[in-house]
Amino acid sequence: QGLLRRSVSHSFLSYASTTGACRAIQKLTRVRVVDNSALGNTPYHRPPKCIHVYNKTGVGKVGDTILLAIKGEKKKALIVGHKMPGPTMTPRFDSNNVVLIEDNGNPIGTRIKTPIPYILRQREGEFSKILAIARNFV
Amino acid sequence: CRASGDEKPAKFQPPPKPVIIDKQKQRAERRFLSPEFIPPRGRTDPLKYYMERKDMIQRRRVFNIPEFYVGSVLAVTTADPYANNKSNRFVGICIQRGGKGLGATFVLRNVIEDQGVEVCYELYSPRIQAIEVLKLEKRLDDNLMYLRDALPEYSTFDVNMKPVSHLDHEEIPVNKLQVRMKPKPWSKRWERPKYNIKGIKFELPEIKMKEAQKWSQPWLEFDMLREYDTSKIEEKIWKEVNEGLKK
């Protein structure tokens, strides 16, 4: 929500919308923190928002690090799922999911209940600790 | 039988032969041609579609793609290099079947741990190892994208659900379920007549429903240029596919 969308529906069966960079994670996207860290789960009057994407393009996909503004603090996070449809056979989630991370790559929470895509296993070296706390895979 | 009172004895009438209804023959009467075989309307050379169909038949000979519709629950096992045991099983309801020819896709949706997940699979991809139909049924619409804005209980399916048996000669059951939606805003304005959705129980006020009818285009059903009669094409392709699969 809150991102521009142009709908292309020439036939009644194409319900997809085509846009530039959208539904993936970019600056000012509201994200959902899925681990059980205190910072991610305590309620605050503003939702956590992305303020920077560590990428050549400003668009974050699964496996990219972003900077998050939560509860008035800056925290790094790893994207584990977004609403944008990706390559076929990869899952598309109904919410933009993110796992809070320290600067050295260690996750802050201890459990991740929501399903994580298997694609993250490709970079086992960087994400081994996050994959270790994940419970379900898709 | 004749009343006894006739003077001449009636000629012996043999009893009528019993009519055996062969259920197997009845099964052959129900034809299902997968929608990706039907070529789209256009000016491309039919040779291209013929070659694609040959490849599709070749793949179907090796790997069984079962009959399913939008609204049936499927379990798909794919080969994934990054999954443990190298294979990945996903169970979900088919919400959309798109694409023609070898690029035909279908999207499965499920809600796992309160998180809605959708995966788009290609029917003819060599990475797919098995497709099982757990529940074969149709729904009132061809496209169930509105399930994204419906209450999550309508998209949750048990990952370990047992396949519901379906007899061959019976007709495919149509599930006339009317789905209840989350409060607006939705991703698309499903109440508008352009989507022509019958499977939602709209709990909107009458004023909103009338306002949505403003966008109706009643002339579209009479537009002759939009008609695409596929019956003859389907007959030809059905024969072709059957001969190809029998070899």
Q: Chain B closest CA to A5's CA: distance in Å?
A: 10
Prior bond of B18 cis (ω within 30°): no
Reported confidence tier of residue B172, pLDDT bands at 50, 70, 90 = confident
The Cα–Cα gap between B191 and B198 comes to 10
The Cα–Cα gap between B56 and A29 comes to 42
Supply the pLDDT for residue B19: 77
3-state class percentages of chain A: helix first, strand second, coil last, to nearest 5 = 15, 30, 55
Instruction: Tell me the average pLDDT of chain A.
Output: 85
Among residues B196, B195, B189, which one has the least CA distance to residue B211? Answer: B189
The ipTM is 0.80
Among residues B1, B146, B173, B148, which one has the least CA distance to residue B73? Answer: B173
The Cα–Cα gap between A66 and A26 comes to 9
Average pLDDT score over residue span B211-226: 93
Contacts A85 to B, Cβ<8 Å: 120
- Helix (H), strand (E) at residue B246: helix B231-246
Are the Cβ atoms of A118 and B115 closer than 8 angstroms?
Answer: no
Supply the pLDDT for residue A19: 40
Are the Cβ atoms of B112 and A97 closer than 8 angstroms?
Answer: no
The Cα–Cα gap between B60 and B77 comes to 16
Contacts B188 to A, Cβ<8 Å: 7, 15
More confident residue, A15 or B115: B115
Nearest CA in chain A to B96: A13
Nearest CA in chain A to B186: A1
If phi > 0 it is left, if psi is from -120 to 50 it is alpha, else beta; for residue B96 that is: beta
Q: Chain B closest CA to A72's CA: distance in Å?
A: 27
Closest CB from A34, A95, A136 relative to B112: A136
Q: Chain A closest CA to B191's CA: distance in Å?
A: 14
- Residue range A17-31, pLDDT digits in tens: 434 345 789 999 999
Whole-Å CA distances, B232 to B29, B83, B164, B237, B239: 17, 45, 34, 9, 11
Answer positive or negative: Cα dihedral of B116, B122, B125, B130.
positive
CATH class of B68-216: mainly beta
The torsion angles phi and psi of B99, rounded to 5 degrees, stand at 80, 155
Q: Which fold has domain A25-133?
A: Ribosomal Protein L14 (2.40.150)
CB-neighbour burial class of residue B57 (10 A; exposed 0-12, middle 13-18, buried 19+): middle
> Given a cut of 70, is residue A131 above it in pLDDT?
yes
3-state class percentages of chain B: helix first, strand second, coil last, to nearest 5 = 30, 20, 50
Instruction: For chain A, give every domain's residue range.
Output: 25-133
Reported confidence tier of residue B32, pLDDT bands at 50, 70, 90 = confident
DSSP state letter for B231: H
Q: Chain A closest CA to B82's CA: distance in Å?
A: 6
- Residue range A76-116, pLDDT digits in tens: 999 999 999 999 899 999 999 999 999 998 999 999 999 99
Supply the pLDDT for residue B1: 55
> Given a cut of 60, is residue B136 above it in pLDDT?
yes
Q: Chain B closest CA to A95's CA: distance in Å?
A: 8
Alpha-helical runs (H) found in B13-134: 23-29, 46-62
Q: Where would I find the beta strands (DSSP E) of chain B?
A: 73-79, 87-98, 105-112, 115-122, 128-135, 138-139, 174-175
Nearest CA in chain A to B84: A118
Supply the pLDDT for residue A42: 93
Percent of chain B with pLDDT over 70: 93
Closest CB from B82, B98, B148 relative to A119: B82
> How many other β-carbons are positioned within 10 Å of the β-carbon of residue A34?
27
Interface test with B, best of A3, A15, A135 (most B CBs within 10 A): A15
CB A84 within 8 A of CB A92: yes
Nearest CA in chain A to B79: A89
The three-point CA angle B99-B103-B105 to 5° equals 60
Instruction: For chain B, give every domain's residue range.
Output: 68-216
